[in-house]
Amino acid sequence: MDKFLIKKKRNPLGLEEEEKNGVEEKEAIWKEIRAEGLHCDYRILFSKSEADGILLELERDIEYLQGDLAKLYVFGKWHNVPRKQVAYGDAGLSYTYSGATFSPKPWIPVLQRVRECVQAVTGHSFNFVLINRYKDGRDRMGEHRDDERELEPRSPIASVSFGAGRDFVFRHCGSKGHSTPSHPTPVWLHLEHGSLLVMRFPTNQHWRHGLPARRGVTGPRVNLTFRDVRGSHVGP
């Protein structure tokens, strides 16, 4: 398969559930994103007014890591992270990537509310959230896979975005930075304010993803990636 497919489908939970979450019917339609080894779903989860309110709470209440705790180990060196980050979640969990280990802060009300909405529309439970704040388009996330050993096998990752819309890329691991006749072309998405992207198995086995710099973006973006981390499984 050398092209990706995006098609729309109705939320299996039905319109009644959507109305409880304050989302209009036209916004409650999932977009399926499919390619070889790529299995993702995307939709608007929160109306603009809801997303605006949540962003204000996040900007007011989230406490980000500072100093050495905000550095990552990449290619044999410690680097300052080109964004702010922190983790919240259940007690007793830990999550490590790029040489940094995150012990989550306790859940706060705004994160609990967002988590409940995500769980309601995905049917999955999450016990951990990694938060990244991008002050503007110069802040970025390098291409990587979320395949750390602490994650529950085959569990999805749910990414919720608030603030400035940003371009997001999936690139097949065999492409080495460019498409080839034997590998799919990169898949580009624009992650909107109040949107939800669900990355399902086996996406992170075969595709890297990243958030490239966009100097034309002047506003902040806060991204919440909900995960199910081993050690304190939540729900059925």
Domains of the chain: 27-227 (2.60.120.590)
- pLDDT score recorded for residue 224: 98
What percentage of the chain reaches a pLDDT higher than 70? 76
What percentage of the chain reaches a pLDDT higher than 90? 64
More confident residue, 15 or 36: 36
Contact 94, 103 (CB under 8 A): yes
- pLDDT score recorded for residue 17: 41
- pLDDT score recorded for residue 76: 61
pTM score of the predicted model: 0.83
- List pLDDT tens digits, range 20-74: 444 444 457 999 999 999 999 999 999 999 999 999 999 999 999 875 445 555 5
- pLDDT score recorded for residue 210: 96
- Give the integer Cα–Cα distance in Å for 93 and 105: 10
Question: Which is nearest to 55 in space by CA: 131, 121, 145, 116?
Answer: 131
Q: Sign of the C-alpha dihedral, residues 162, 166, 170, 173?
A: negative
- pLDDT score recorded for residue 66: 79
Mean of pLDDT values over 209-234: 89
Mean of pLDDT values over 186-214: 96
Question: Which is nearest to 45 in space by CA: 111, 122, 107?
Answer: 122
